[in-house]
Amino acid sequence: MDNVNHIFSKDMIYDLVWGSAIIDENAIMVYINRLRAKIEDDPSRPRYIQTVRGLGYRFVIP
């Protein structure tokens, strides 16, 4: 919430959330999808957690 419109790469998310723990890279996509399922009206057309192709994800307040 403090970083509205800030793009976070998968590597940044990995480091900020899991630090030195070793997890599968696909875990980030799984958790993003779970967050979308909880906050989006239509998770297949996200308005709040957007994917920025080639860069990562960003939280947007429309």
Give the Cα separation of 28 and 36 in Å (integer). Answer: 12
* pLDDT tens string 7-47: 999 889 888 888 878 888 788 899 999 999 999 999 999 99
pLDDT of residue 50: 94
Going from N- to C-terminal start, the domains of the chain cover 7-59
pLDDT of residue 20: 79
Whether 52 has a pLDDT exceeding 90, the answer reads yes
pTM above the 0.85 mark? no
CB within 8 Å of 7: residues ≥ 6 apart: 52, 55, 56, 57, 58
Phi, psi torsion values for 17, nearest 5 degrees = -90, -50
CB within 8 Å of 57: residues ≥ 6 apart: 7, 8, 13, 32, 49, 50, 51
* Nearest in space to 56 (alpha carbons), one of 4, 6, 2: 6
Fold classified for 7-59: Arc Repressor Mutant, subunit A (1.10.10)
Whether 1 has a pLDDT exceeding 80, the answer reads no
